[in-house]
């Protein structure tokens, strides 16, 4: 499209320009910031092994994930990568680094700083959608809804700064609900859904690699800090096999056509695509928790106690991943056999049962049982994809 003299960003819907779209170098660079943010979240969980710490990790993971979703999906819709847009995203990356630095204290006296930076980043995404509303008429109804909803949520984030804890956290929850529910409500109620050539399926896969990388770091860190004692090394081997199994389970059935299928498949397909997209947060969170849980198990194998909270992080993380990956693969256009759903559900139940049973099982035994069970499940799941 012709460039307007006052236009800061060159926006388009990216239809039909190339047979396939892939992540740009800017998108890959953008993801690196989330490597640091995820590491900070993992450190938060590892440093505060309590029920409150587990709840705090969960609560802070959601807004971090949501920022990644918003900026990634904006780039997916409009496929912008010119100079001004790059400068905007580089500024956002700096803001994300600063926000990540506030994570450790976000629920312990530093919540105002976290909310301030988060609200500032929300203001950027609002400005980007205003730009899209102005210059992309095909998407005007959609972008107008996004601007209104995000603006209401932005005002709540700003309001929360002036409200004391814990009421501040409840305002955060309401604001996040408005932001997260906006997408499905908008797509299911607007008259015409603007279509574009999406690569969000690939973007989700790249984020899986990020969180798996953090799990690998947790395993390596745990072993290196225990002087290579054999119980810890054995637990670390089981942890590595667990990470490999999680990778295998996600990517063996990865489908890069889901979002494009949904954009052209009607309201039911759109609803399934949101189940698919939003279920990823369970898989992401489960992978990070599993990695931290394995680190706890490695430390416990070296003589530290493997308390119930640590077992909850490990076993609950595996169960959470199984729930997320099963739900998202069920919602994709490729079928997920009923027997696979049942088998994964049973393994998730077994993982949860290991939380109390772990009191009488050695840490290395729990990790090996989980890793071998996941490996067996992947073998059981090894069937070709078939179209629903």
Does residue 306 sit in the same domain as residue 375? yes
Domain-ending residue, one of 148, 166, 189: 189
pTM, to two decimals: 0.92
- Alpha carbon separation from 76 to 62, 104, 195, 259, 276 (Å, rounded): 20, 31, 11, 10, 16
In tens digits, the chain (388 residues) has pLDDT values of 444 433 444 444 555 455 577 889 999 999 999 999 999 999 999 999 999 999 999 999 999 999 999 999 999 998 777 788 999 999 999 999 999 999 999 998 899 999 999 999 999 999 999 999 988 888 899 999 999 999 999 999 999 999 999 999 999 999 999 999 999 999 999 988 888 889 999 999 999 999 999 999 999 988 888 777 888 899 999 999 999 999 999 999 998 889 989 988 889 999 999 999 999 999 999 999 999 999 999 999 877 778 999 999 999 999 999 999 999 999 998 878 999 999 999 999 999 999 999 888 999 999 999 999 999 999 998 754 444 3
Residue ranges making up the domain that contains 94: 25-189
Is 236 found in the same domain as 306? yes
Inter-residue contact 70 to 132 (CB < 8 Å): no
Query: Quick check: is 10 in a domain?
Result: no
Q: What is the largest CA-CA distance in the chain?
A: 71
Q: Does one domain contain both 117 and 246? A: no
Distance between CA atoms of 148 and 171, rounded to whole angstroms? 18
Give the pair of three-digit tokens for residue 168.
Answer: 């501040």
Confidence (pLDDT) at 335 = 73
What is the secondary structure of 161-211 as a DSSP string?
A: HTS-TTHHHHHHHHHHHHHHHHHHHHHHHSS-PPP----HHHHHHHHHHHH
The pLDDT, as a whole number, for residue 117 is: 98
pLDDT of residue 388: 39
Q: Alpha-carbon torsion 129, 207, 283, 322, what sign?
A: positive
The reported pLDDT for the residue numbered 7 is 46
354's tokens: 């290991």
Q: Do the beta carbons of residue 170 and residue 115 sit within 8 Å?
A: no
Q: Which of 140, 164, 189 is the last residue of a domain?
A: 189
Residues 210 and 184 in one domain: no
Pair (330, 266) in one structural domain:
yes
Count Cβ atoms below 10 Å from residue 21 Cβ, excluding itself. Answer: 18
SS3 string of 303-347? CCCCCHHHHHHHHHHHHHHHHHHHHHHHHCCECCCHHHHHHHHHH
Residue at a domain's end among 165, 189, 213: 189
Q: Using CA atoms, how far apart are residues 329 and 341, in angstroms rounded to an integer? A: 10
If one counts the domains in the chain, the total is 2
């Amino acid at each position: 499209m012709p460039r307007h003299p006052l236009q800061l960003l060159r926006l388009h819907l990216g239809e039909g320009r190339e047979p396939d779209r892939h992540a740009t170098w800017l998108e890959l660079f953008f993801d690196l910031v989330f490597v640091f943010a995820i590491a900070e979240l993992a450190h938060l969980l590892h440093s505060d092994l309590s029920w409150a710490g587990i709840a705090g990790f969960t609560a802070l993971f959601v807004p971090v994930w949501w920022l990644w979703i918003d900026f990634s999906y904006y780039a997916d819709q409009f496929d912008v990568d010119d100079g001004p847009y790059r400068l905007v995203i580089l500024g956002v990356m700096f803001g994300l680094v600063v926000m990540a630095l506030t994570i450790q204290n976000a629920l312990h006296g530093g919540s105002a700083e976290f909310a301030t930076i988060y609200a500032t980043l929300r203001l950027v995404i609002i400005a980007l959608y205003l730009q899209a509303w102005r210059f992309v008429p095909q998407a005007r109804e959609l972008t107008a809804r996004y601007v209104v909803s995000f603006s209401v949520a932005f005002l709540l984030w700003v309001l929360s700064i002036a409200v004391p804890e814990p009421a501040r956290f409840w305002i955060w929850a309401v604001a996040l609900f408005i932001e997260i529910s906006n997408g499905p409500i908008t797509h299911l109620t607007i008259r015409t859904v603007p279509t574009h050539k999406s690569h969000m399926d690939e973007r989700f896969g790249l984020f899986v690699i990020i969180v798996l990388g953090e799990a690998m770091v947790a395993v390596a860190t745990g072993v290196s800090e225990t002087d290579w004692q054999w119980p810890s090394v054995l637990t670390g081997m089981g942890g590595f096999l667990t990470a490999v199994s999680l990778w295998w389970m996600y990517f063996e059935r990865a489908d890069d056509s889901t979002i494009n299928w949904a954009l052209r498949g009607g309201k039911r397909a759109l609803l399934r695509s949101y189940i698919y997209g939003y279920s990823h947060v369970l898989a992401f969170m489960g992978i990070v928790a599993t990695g931290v849980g394995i680190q706890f198990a490695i430390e416990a194998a070296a003589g530290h106690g493997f308390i119930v909270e640590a077992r909850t992080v490990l076993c609950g993380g595996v169960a959470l991943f199984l729930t997320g990956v099963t739900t998202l693969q069920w919602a994709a256009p490729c079928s997920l056999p009923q027997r696979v759903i049942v088998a994964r559900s049973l393994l998730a139940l077994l993982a949860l049962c290991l939380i109390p049973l772990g009191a009488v099982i050695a840490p290395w035994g729990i990790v090996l049982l989980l890793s071998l069970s996941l490996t067996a499940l992947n073998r059981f799941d090894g069937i070709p994809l078939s179209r629903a």
